[in-house]
Chain A
Amino acid sequence: MPSPVVTIRGVSKSYGAVMALRHVDLDIYAGEVFALLGPNGAGKTTLVEILEGYRGRSSGEVDVLGADPGRGDARWRSRLGIVLQNTTVFDFLSVEETVVHFAGFYPSPLDSGHVIDLVGLGDKRKARCSTLSGGQKRRVDLALGLVGNPDLVFLDEPTTGLDPEGRRQLWDVIRSFTALGKTVILTTHYLDEAEALANRVGIIIGGEIVDIGPPDEIGGESRFIATVSFRPDGALTERAIPPLDGELTRSGPHVSLRTATPTAAVATLIAWAADAGVAEIPALSVSHPSLEDTYLMMVAARGGTESTETGAAA
């Protein structure tokens, strides 16, 4: 594994009696896209703003690019690109004026025109920011986070509030600079976003990191339990279902089996059906729990509620 660019050890943060973060340990490695996934109020923004140096911590140790974020100097800041949760643009400046102005803060910025093209605002270069749509303003935010040519980019709910098409376009923008080898820390409450962009996902619920791993491995063993389902019709109705390894349930005409060995179960079923002269088992399917199923189970298990549909940031 490459060396960590972010190291978090035992970090807690309380606002009065409210514990926003509880003893968080986390390493984030150079070149990866790490997504922090969690319901609203889980502590995503608090954790990210501690890493960005905006907030202090109640206890624990943090190292970001070799410095404590609370004491980072201008040179350290010049290696970070920050896209905050709330869209903020300078209404009375044009897109180009804004990006060029911010580029001037950095020692070796990217070309402003190139960044404007990259975020898809090439035809809005001269437009005042006040005249842009919500999605276009969010692109300005992204441009400002990138123009300093940072080594580490923070994206706090970058696509919240955008329509599905706008979200997908923004994903392409994010992919185009993760391809440049930047380390990206992304917070989101959209599961598809985490799956589409991240190498690793950290699930944060109630201020605790409850699981970390690649999107298809989150949930550990529960993710390997598959469901084999089918509908015994015609000739199959008369025959008893053969012994199968797993937990069998029936609902109406459907039979489903929760099993750790779906391939063996399917092989047994094919032989059983062939015996009865049936070549195609009706409605046969094998499915694994999605990241969404796993995530919703985790949230529910901790007494949380989550609606992944809501677009508005709280």
Chain B
Amino acid sequence: MTSSSISMPSLTRLAWSRTIVDLKQFFRIPEQVFFTFLLPVLFLVLFSAVFSGDVDGPPGRSVKFVQYFLPGIIALGVASSTFANLAMSISTEQHEGLLKRLAGTPLPKSAFFAGRLTSSVIITVIQTAVLLAIGVLLFGIDLPDGPGRWLFFIYLLGISAALGSALGIAATRMVPNARAAGPIIQAPFLVLQFISGIFFQWNQLPSWLQWIATAFPLRWMAQGFRYAFLPDWFGETEYGSSWGWEIPTVALAAWMVISVVLALVFFRWTREGDRR
């Protein structure tokens, strides 16, 4: 039998097949759906119900709390659906030997990563759409003002999902065994959420916490999404001279490069814990 005349499955078909399987696996694990997908939605609804007042800008001016809170939650949702989702699910697959099993098949590694990236982008888009729909329908928030801010919003969504995915893949290296995946990934992520201006107003954080948060991408994601949704007079009070699309764009582009390098350096297809 000469099998060489029969062509191998195309990369596109394989990547799509991996995407479907990743999506099935994501949506069939209740804990995963709750923590990475529903929790940001729950935060939005709960916080907006509790804090129904306004957030003060310059003297005499303010915006509704939910208008202020929603962009930060979108940033949190993107990070959860990409970074936390991939870091936890891929490290579990590594330690349970599922990646080793895939490595023993003709599946190209590029198809595996393309599937992972596509599925986490799809999850991100669905989640962002849900958050926006709740914001508009339940709380009457204002959407980005004009095509410029929409374009920036789409750029943010894309680059944040991509760098979050790459960082998640890199972070699998920190997980020593399958059980540790949750705590090891979620603990530092939770700290970053609190110091990146998602739950607390950025200009109310002490400057040393601001400096720490500035070193990580979540702060720039949150600030970027605020720029897309908030008027300039508000943002300049909160973020001062770094307000605007320019600095978040550059900071996130730099993080994109760093994340890909980290993923390439740290990711291991198999973890040799089972060597004997």
Contacts and interface: CB of A to CB of B under 8 A. Distances in A.
Q: What is the predominant secondary structure among interface residues of chain B facing chain A? A: loop
A106 B13 contact: no
Contacts of B101: 82, 84, 88, 144
B274 A77 contact: no
Interface in B7-21: 7-9, 13-14, 17, 21
Residue of A90, A93, A102 with most chain B CB atoms under a 10 A cut-off: A90
A88 B98 contact: yes
Nearest to A147: B105
B96 interface: yes
B61 interface: no
Contact of A107 (B3, B17, B29): B3
Given A15-B275, A84-B101, A84-B104, A93 B21 contact: yes
Interface of B: 3-4, 6-9, 13-14, 17, 21, 24-25, 28-29, 96-98, 100-101, 103-108, 270, 274-276
A86 interface: yes
A302 interface: no
A105 B21 CA distance: 13
A300 B3 CA distance: 46
A108 interface: yes
A106 B107 CA distance: 8
Interface of A: 15, 41, 45-46, 52, 54, 74-75, 77-80, 82, 84, 86, 88, 90, 92-93, 97, 101-102, 104-108, 144, 148, 314
A241 B157 CA distance: 96
Residue of B13, B106, B108, B274 with most chain A CB atoms under a 10 A cut-off: B106
B246 to A, nearest CB: 43
B8 A107 contact: yes
Contacts of B8: 74-75, 78, 107
A78 B106 CA distance: 5
Given A74-B106, A93-B25, A102-B105, A86 B7 contact: no
A77 B106 contact: yes
B103 A41 contact: no
B95 to A, nearest CB: 10
Nearest to B4: A75
Contact of A101 (B17, B104, B270): B17
A29 B56 CA distance: 80
A104 B3 contact: no
A107 B21 contact: no
Given A92-B24, A101-B17, 16 more contacts: A45-B276, A54-B103, A54-B104, A74-B106, A74-B107, A74-B108, A77-B104, A78-B106, A79-B3, A82-B104, A86-B97, A88-B98, A92-B29, A93-B24, A107-B3, A148-B106
A104 B9 contact: yes
Nearest to B269: A54
Nearest to B27: A92
Nearest to B7: A107
Closest 3 pairs between A and B when the two form their complex, measured CB to CB: A74-B106, A82-B104, A77-B106
